[in-house]
A = this chain, B = another copy of it.
Amino acid sequence: MTAFTATVTVRLKRGVLDPEAETTQRQLERLGFELDDLRSADRFEIDLDAESADGAAERAEEMAERLLANPTIHDYDVEVEQAG
């Protein structure tokens, strides 16, 4: 078994309203920053042991499907690195 870190990024699907991101964007504009758009996402960094990077990615995808993401409103992606 090898130690891996899987990073799961969970984003709202395009078209789903994100009032928190809109508020953050407006606050930045009020502070004088110019920006075209701001999107927010949740990021989970998960340390786990697996036989291979593929095995770790598969397990992290299953975690996303079962708990971390809501498939109705979220997209997610998974990246895996060997822990250093």
Of B24, B44, B63, which one neighbours A68 at CB under 8 angstroms? B24
Which residues of A from 16 to 54 have beta carbons under 8 Å from B?
21, 24, 27-28, 31, 33-49
Query: In the bound complex, what is the Cα–Cα distance between A79 and B47 (angstroms)?
Result: 22
Task: Please judge, given known A-B contacts A43-B41, A43-B42, whether A48 and B35 are in contact too, CB under 8 Å.
Answer: yes
Query: Which residues does chain B contribute within 8 Å of A48, judged by CB atoms?
Result: 33-36
Can you list 28 residue pairs at the A/B interface with Cβ under 8 Å?
A3-B36, A9-B43, A24-B67, A27-B67, A28-B63, A28-B67, A33-B48, A33-B59, A33-B62, A33-B63, A34-B48, A35-B47, A35-B48, A35-B63, A36-B47, A36-B48, A37-B46, A38-B45, A38-B46, A38-B47, A39-B44, A39-B45, A40-B42, A40-B44, A40-B45, A41-B45, A42-B42, A42-B43
